Structure 1
Amino acid sequence: MKQFAGLLFLCIVLLSSLAGNADSDLISDLCKKTDDPKLCLSSIQSRPESGEFAATSNQIEIIAISAVSANASATSAYIKEKLSREDLEPATEDTLEDCQKNYQDAVEQLDDSISAMIADAHADVDVWLNAAISAVESCGNALESRAGNDVELSQRNEVFLKLCKNALVINKMLT
């Protein structure tokens, strides 16, 4: 994960050297077309790299995907913490283990999305983002269908899905 973060930062720095300064109007224009413009705007602008490096649509897309990845990593850490408890019911533990695997898959797919975005392969970005959505939807389905529903994890899933769908909309605008 650390290697990926370093690679992401390097790529953003390289892209920014070609593009110039941030354009908050561009971020706003892209986010207006998403399903959740407020979340889109706040998630991109809250990223440290958005102030310096968000000068092009492609850079904004990379930042949007990195925001989803950060969200997925935080949720994965939340699940890991829950799994460390010794008082879990077996059904809850099974559900959380499935969700942990789903989030690990989603993080890998988001990493692949960023690599595809850097290569300007928008069709591949679409495939990987949809795969990440599918992985987290599987977690949500497990939460709904089994014992051991976790309200906070359900809410985290919803935020993840919104962030991912926002990134998908931005990607579609770039193709």
Structure 2
Amino acid sequence: MSSLQSHSKSRNSDIHGLAAISLDLDISHAKETISYIKRLKRPKDWGYNNTFAAECIGDCMEEYAEALVDLRRATDAFRRNSYHTVNILVAGAMTGSDSCESGFSDQPGFHSPMTERNEYFFKLCSNTIAITNLLV
């Protein structure tokens, strides 16, 4: 709710408008996360100096790049009022954040630098699906 309330157009929006805003928020967060991941390319800068960390970051980059593609396709489906397709694509994008996070858990004692971003992205996408379900 707070993410939608922070958007200036949400106050006067109907369900359709809120769904569009929510989808835009998903895309914005995915783009910001890709930028964040690019800054994490050097694992030793955040306390790790091994190939496992670099591989996890690389996997996260791929997951969020694919999520962004799914979200852009979801935007196209939304414009066509194909809400079921929107939900399928947004759900696919959500799995990227889970896959990113779970990759870090493959090595005991390893702390993911992506946890907060992954959880927030998952919640944003979940909100989009909930709102879009009201349009189906």
Provide the TM-score with structure 2 as the length reference.
0.87
How many pairs are equivalent? 131
**What corresponds to 1:144 in structure 2?**
105
- Alpha carbons of 1:62 and 1:90: their partners in 2 closer, same or farther (altered >3 Å)? same
- Write the distance in 2 (CA, Å) between the matches of 1:106 and 1:171: 18
Query: Residue 166 of structure 1 aligns with which residue?
Result: 127
C-alpha deviation, 1:49, in angstroms: 4.2
Q: TM-score under structure 1 normalisation?
A: 0.69
Say which structure is richer in helix.
1
What runs of 5+ residues in structure 1 fail to find an aligned partner? 1-40
Give the percent of matched residue pairs that are identical in Structure 1 and Structure 2. Answer: 24
Matched residue type, 1:46: S
Off by >6 Å, runs of 4+ in structure 1: none
What residue is the counterpart of 1:79 in the other structure?
A: 37
Q: 1:71 to 1:86 in 2, by over 3 A?
A: closer
1:55-78 Cα deviation digits (max 9, x unpaired): 331121010011111111111111
Q: Does 1:111 align with 2:72?
A: yes
Structure 2 gap segments, 5+ residues each: none
The equivalent of 1:121 in structure 2 is 82
Partner of residue 46, structure 1: 6
Given residue 125 of structure 1, which amino acid in structure 2 is its aligned partner?
V
CA distance in 2, matches of 1:111, 1:67: 12
1:94 aligns with 2:55: yes
